[in-house]
Structure 1
Amino acid sequence: MIRPPPPGQGKRGEQGYLAYLLRQAQAATRLTMERALGKLGVTPPQFVVLTMLRAYPGLSGADLARVALLTPQTVGIIIRNLERDGAIRKTPHPVHGRVLQWTLTRRGTALLEKCRRHARAVDRQLAKGLPPKAELIVRRWLSKIATELQDS
């Protein structure tokens, strides 16, 4: 029986398509984050929602879905769970009364800080061996891909 090569070899390595290599790297990163955040009882999508609310307080559920790259249905479930756990709270939008805005609570901020310690460790692992200039190039490249392919 023929077995596929491990990550980093053949088409799963430098000979592979960029899109596949990005997907492979993302899958490995997600699994690593799931394991790290799971110790805190938090999922990567919950972490992203908490992170986006810290960066952009007052987002609506629809806006959260867009910036977190999640479906509105998934964000709805995440919001309900985070609100139930006291990590976020809602307030009506000052102009559009039917729109709810979400912000972190003190408890949510503390939870996010714990999550960030784990996420920073994963980031350090990802950047290990990259000189600062190379890391900046990778960050710019990934941002450029997201910007340009979004419009195509």
Structure 2
Amino acid sequence: MTRSARANGGQGGPRGRVRMSPPPDLVAAPGYGARRLYQAYLAAWNRHVDAVLTGPQFAVLSAIRAHPDADQTALAGAVALDTSTMADVCRRMERRGLITRTAAPHDARAKVLTLTEDGAAALTETNRRARALDEALLDGCPPEQRPQLASLLNDLGQQWERVAERDTL
């Protein structure tokens, strides 16, 4: 038996591959847990919601619907995207015919985002599947605790964004 197989109790994974546990220091790190959650979420999104429309694109479509006639920079902040990523996301969605970008009346450099009919239809259908994914992801969490969990995750996100903006720890 190989050393790695012995470390795994002799159990091979798929196709004889050894499955190892992550080191304890990683399991104790909140960033590792967040990364695992995010990777699992992306895999579930791609499989069950939409393999073409990404989570950030979905967030932008949702924000456009919630804030009609808002400019691209303001919406970037609302969906936690930096402005260069937002510009790239919007260019791709505009090429797909999901949104239009027009010059803002108050500043020709700013772009006002609007949903197209195709964008509104994609948002409606994707939203239905995304809510079903939310239900599946929170299946083990009691319904009365789900709002607190979502609030805690968003609070952590805000705190981690503040830490990322610091010059030093």
Q: Deviations over 1:48-90 (max 9, x none)?
A: 2212212222333333333333343332232222222221112
RMSD value, Cα? 2.5
Letter in 1 for 2:95: R
> Matched residues in 1 for 2:75 and 2:25: separation?
33
Q: Are 1:46 and 2:57 an aligned pair?
A: yes
Q: Quick check: 2:73–2:110 contact (8 Å CA) kept in 1?
A: no
> Matched residues in 1 for 2:95 and 2:38: separation?
30
Q: Deviations over 1:13-61 (max 9, x none)?
A: 9x533332122111101111122311xx322222122122122223333
> Matched residues in 1 for 2:91 and 2:39: separation?
26
Please tell me whether Structure 1 or Structure 2 has the larger radius of gyration of its CA atoms: 2
Cα 1:12–1:57 change in 2 (3 A) is: farther
The unaligned stretches of length 5 or more in structure 2 are 8-18, 164-169
Q: What count of residue pairs does the alignment treat as equivalent?
A: 146
User: Per the alignment, in what secondary structure is the counterpart of residue 4 of structure 1?
Assistant: coil
Q: Are 1:26 and 2:42 an aligned pair?
A: no
> Matched residues in 2 for 1:12 and 1:125: separation?
29
Calculate the TM-score normalised by the size of structure 2: 0.73
Identity across matched positions, percent: 29
In structure 1, the residue matched to 2:70 is 59
Higher relative contact order (CA 8 A, sep 6+): 1
